[in-house]
Amino acid sequence: MPSPELPPEILTIIFTLVTHHSLDLISCCLVCLSWYTVAFPLIMGHPHLPCLGVHKYTNDELDRLAKLWATARDAGVALGPLTRLVEVTYGNVIGNLGTGVYAILDELRLASIRGLLQGWHTCIPVSLHLHNTSDYLRLNLLNELVTRLVPRMRIMCINKLTMNDPQKRSSLQFIRSLLHQQSVPGPPHPIVSLIARHYSYLVEFHLFESGFTIELSYILRQCPNIQTVILNDIYVTLPPDHFAETVGSWPNLTTLILKGLSGKDNQPKGFLAPTVRRLANAYPSSLSTLELHDYIPHDPTTMDLSRLLTACAHTVSILTLPPIEKTHKNADRLLTHLATLHMPHLKQLDLSNLDCDRLGGRRGRDGIPPLAWPELRELTLGSCRGVRPSFVEAVLEDCAKIECVHVRDVGPRAGQVRAMLVRWEFVESADKADFDRRDRPWRKKKGDWLEECGKIDLKWPLAEGLL
């Protein structure tokens, strides 16, 4: 008598042929329990579902996805938690679908996206990505449509934003009215208005290749729940002290990445110093990621950067040290101080910006205390200007979990460090994705932490798939 159903091995082979389209796999999950058991693990590995970008789907596909989610909910299948974040990505109200087709954010598409969001049984965070948003009228349209679509925006990523517009004065008046609960004539800048509508829900703010103006600073100060701030290639038009007060106004900050800040006349020197001083004096208690890539003077009298490292030592897990003024051996002093800190959660350390001369003797580890970084897994050295090979060897000796060291091919000490890594059973990465990297990764032969990092978001017990 023939088997009433195909064996799982055959179903797996069949389903792997449709993994390019997440909608087909979801449909397979809803056929029966045996199909669900085979298809569900394949869905977990699909690249589009954990972070669902609506710009990758047509209106018909969004409608179909919403129906599949509703069917799964009615059948008691918890497919909703597969998606952790929904991205709404548009530039000037037009999103590229990646297939040569463009989708305009109009009423029809708005209804499709809204239907998708309403199909989940849980509230999914929504991220708004804006690219080349310079057209003032279209920004107004986008403001209205997005606010109707998502009443509670959690994440906002803005790329190449132009804040210079005739309504700048109205923006400042709008912010003052928000602070003092007064009404003023004239509309504010659409981005200011959009943030104002979601200020109590906003938890992440990313800004790339844009201007950071005083009106934007004021409205971001009113966002009490911001946890992640990433500013990259930013032209800051406000005074450094004012910028520092803005960064210091977020008590729940967990991630701070500052790179490519420039002020008046495009001069970055010293611009970051007030921010470091502000954070050192009032350190966010939950800060776990601190990446400072800009130049900063290291004043031996105030030692603001050293005080900041001391404050964050027990919470930080990802740390990037900035380039420091080369006077009075500031970088040497900073790295010496870093080596004395107990950092129980530190996993990734980037020293590629430093330029040191003194730390560590030419032989042995003279002057280097035992390093208390038990969880360190990844070290970035760049061209090894910032450390001596003796310091690297101290890291390899004291940090038993170290699995990856990034080293450039050129540099005065790079050759010595590479030879040392070979002795410690590290091998240069052969992945094609790493060939274009300036800091070529060297990985430990028996290390598995980096592979686990790539899979951690995909783990989902099969038994938890059913409600």
Is residue 326 predicted with pLDDT exceeding 70?
Answer: no
What pLDDT, on a 0 to 100 scale, did the predictor assign at position 247? 92
Q: Is the dihedral of CA 282, 283, 284, 285 positive or negative?
A: negative
**At what angle are helices 22-29 and 33-44 packed, to 10 degrees?**
150
Q: Could you tell me which residue, 370 or 31, shows the higher pLDDT? A: 370
Q: Is the dihedral of CA 67, 72, 75, 76 positive or negative?
A: negative
Does some domain include residue 8? yes
Does some domain include residue 91? no
Mean pLDDT of the region 191-197: 81
Given pLDDT bands bounded at 50, 70 and 90, which one contains residue 54?
A: confident
Partners of 427 in beta bridges? 443
Contacts of 182 (CB under 8 A, 6+ apart): 176
Mean pLDDT of the region 185-191: 65
Does some domain include residue 308? no
Contacts of 109 (CB under 8 A, 6+ apart): 59, 62, 103
3-state secondary structure labels for all residues of 264-327: HHHCCCCCCHHHHHHHHHCCCCCCCEEEECCCECCCCCCCHHHHHHHHHCCCCCEEECCCECCC
Boundary of a domain, candidates 28, 46, 64:
46
DSSP string over 225-271: T--EEEEEEEEE-S-HHHHHHHHTT-TT--EEEEEEEE-GGG--TTS
Does some domain include residue 143? no
Is residue 349 predicted with pLDDT exceeding 90?
Answer: yes
Does some domain include residue 76? no
Does some domain include residue 122? no
What pLDDT, on a 0 to 100 scale, did the predictor assign at position 456? 38
φ/ψ of 251, rounded to 5, equals -70, -20
- Give the domain extent around 341: 326-467
What pLDDT, on a 0 to 100 scale, did the predictor assign at position 401? 92
Average pLDDT score, the chain: 75
Does some domain include residue 421? yes
What pLDDT, on a 0 to 100 scale, did the predictor assign at position 255? 95
What pLDDT, on a 0 to 100 scale, did the predictor assign at position 153? 74
DSSP state of 386: S
Q: Cα(214)–Cα(219) distance, rounded to whole angstroms?
A: 9
Q: Cα(257)–Cα(238) distance, rounded to whole angstroms?
A: 19
Mean pLDDT of the region 436-454: 62
Which amino acid, residue 390?
S
Here the tokens at position 221 are 């100060």
φ/ψ of 114, rounded to 5, equals -65, -40
What pLDDT, on a 0 to 100 scale, did the predictor assign at position 462? 45
Does some domain include residue 270? no
Given pLDDT bands bounded at 50, 70 and 90, which one contains residue 122?
A: low
Boundary of a domain, candidates 46, 64, 79:
46
Q: Cα(374)–Cα(398) distance, rounded to whole angstroms?
A: 8
DSSP string over 100-129: S-EEE-SHHHHHHHHHHHHT-SSPPPEEEE
Q: Could you tell me which residue, 347 or 194, shows the higher pLDDT? A: 347
Q: Cα(382)–Cα(389) distance, rounded to whole angstroms?
A: 13
Is residue 175 predicted with pLDDT exceeding 70?
Answer: no
- Of the ranges 101-115, 193-207, 312-326, which one carries the lowest mean pLDDT score? 101-115
Is residue 143 predicted with pLDDT exceeding 60?
Answer: yes
Give the chain's domain count. 2
